[in-house]
């Protein structure tokens, strides 16, 4: 049923309405601040640590990155 609904929406409205946009970590960082943290709620197999490390290095903050797993 879900597959059929997705196909219907795709054919009537376009693929834009059923595909998730790519995650923009740098844009998310720009929207956050010291009182608005970034919290990742992940599904199995998702691992954003490589993106975080690349962005931290790009911003000159690699030493300050302290990843923490709560699960």
Tokens 């879900």 found at: 2
Asked whether residue 71 carries a pLDDT value surpassing 80, the answer given is no
Q: Are 38 and 28 in contact (CB under 8 A)?
A: yes
Mean pLDDT, range 45-69, rounded to an integer: 87
Asked whether residue 70 carries a pLDDT value surpassing 80, the answer given is no
> Number of helices (H) and strands (E), helices first, in the chain?
3, 0
- 8-44 pLDDT per residue, tens: 999 999 999 998 888 888 998 888 888 988 888 888 8
For the chain, the residue count is 71
Regarding pTM above 0.85, the answer is no
């Amino acid at each position: 049923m879900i597959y059929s609904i997705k196909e219907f929406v795709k054919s009537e409205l376009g693929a834009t309405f059923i595909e998730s946009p790519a995650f923009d970590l740098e844009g998310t960082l720009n929207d956050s601040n010291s009182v608005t943290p970034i919290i990742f709620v992940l599904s199995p197999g998702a691992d954003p640590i490589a993106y975080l490390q690349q962005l931290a290095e790009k911003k000159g903050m690699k030493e300050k990155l302290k990843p923490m797993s709560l699960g």
